[in-house]
Structure 1
Amino acid sequence: MYDGTSERNSTRTNCRRGVEFMQPAGDILRSERERQGRTLAQIADELCLAQDYVRALESGDVNSLPGTFFYKSFARQYAAILGLDDKLITPYLSALSAAEETSNVNAGIRVPEPLVEASNRILFPDVPLGWSVFGLAAVLTVCSMFYTWWNQPRPVSAPTAGIQRPAPVVPVQDVSLKPAEAEGASGVVLKLSATERTWLSIRSGGREVFSGVLQPNESKTLTGLDMATMKVGNAGGIEIRWNGKPIGPLGVSGEVLTVRFTPQDFEIVPPPPRQEL
């Protein structure tokens, strides 16, 4: 019977090795920041991250970050902000990847934990969640592009013109779809409004439909999606209307979350459990 003991022991061993690889990279970043006279708060603001995450980057504390992939992505972005050649930290990050692959090979099958407590089932349907490491990695690969501040919106296809039929001359009527009609016609409709600077990555149908940074008071609308998976780097800095319905705050400022939307419901994908050293 699987009890997770061997997996935890293997993961802890590889986490210790990961810290050994990450610590020199964090030392390089911290030393250069201090040499430039910049504070943690300044770096956190430029990365659009919480200060605790920046502190974890410098100390090599992978358990305080959503995962190893985040550490490597944020470390490269941190180096770019400081003007460092990322070749200085690449050897440590590559060694960390090797340790993580060993951990993944030895990992057993995990049983997904419930998404919400019973008290929250009114807001979130009781849908079983499957966790795919490879699927998550595909979504998160766009994080490495964050520091380029790419914010070019994708062109939206023009609506198909309706069939015109002969009719008497009458006053023009508003033919825009109501929220319920738009929902049925378009599948998933997302309207995103930033209250703080927030980076986003949205995928649908196996391809990336948007990746970039929304500035405060900037909005983005996506329509015609069968389903969508959104990665948000500042959960407290974004307001979302899903199929015309506002949803509550996803999290706090600086929190990184993944949300999956379908025409019927949406769910916050839980991060992998933190491993103790």
Structure 2
Amino acid sequence: MAKDENKEVEIGKSLHDARVAKGMSLEDVQKITKIQAHYLEAIENEDFSELPGDFYVRAFIKQYADTVGIDGMELLNEHDDSLPDTQTEEYSQKVSEDTLSKRSERQNKEEKINSFRKFVPIVGVAIVVLIVIFVIWGVVAKTNKSADTNINSNNSSVSVSGSSEKSESSNADNNKKQDKKPAPKKNINKTSIKKINATEYEVSGSKKNTITLDASNRAWSSISTNGKSLFSGSQESGNKKSVKLPSGTKDVSMSLGNVPSTKILINNKLLNLDKSVPMTTVLNIKFK
């Protein structure tokens, strides 16, 4: 796509001048947006090739602009022709590969189902034969047992009585042992997630916490606490990233570059984001 070089320069210069006017450094903008400083510097220098991909150029520019007091959407609209498309050839190729992969998986499943259907009649015949053999064996065994009972009728009365007492005693002992067995512990997820507002949540119920990011499409995200980065990077479709929080963590800041394609789980419990949250946002999570 053809680019207007003057407009490109205006974007970088506009962001740089707005940041300087507010007395902010690149590190200050990084703390607010959670976008790494070298990416911010690349935007000011118009070096978009340094960003994770064309998909993030518009998202990062908007987030930067909003932070330094410029209307991000208005800035993007003014320079729409000079910015990369959100769906590049790389993105389209990825979608095509995912479609072919799903089609292949569906064909494999259909072949397995057809093989199973062919195998069912054979299994059915085998089961019927086993049932017939079992019935015949049961009848023969019952007949032999009846003959033995008639021959030893006198002795069997005493034997049955003694066996009955032993059986009752054995059952009583087994019942006592079973009563002493502790009830199995239930694995209950006690984690509770409370929504404070669209970008702030409160989590309680667990001393050890893990945040999992599950990407359904290409997405960029970062997780940090007390100014320390725990994770920062991009994820492809189907990729999961789990981050264990340090013991005693109270506050966590999360920056998301593709909210619709990112599922957040805290201790395997889904965090339901507000529908009003934009495509790129920063979440604050407090732990009790």
**Structure 2-normalised TM-score?**
0.38
Higher relative contact order (CA 8 A, sep 6+): 1
**Structure 1-normalised TM-score?**
0.39
In our comparison, the structure showing a higher alpha carbon Rg is 2
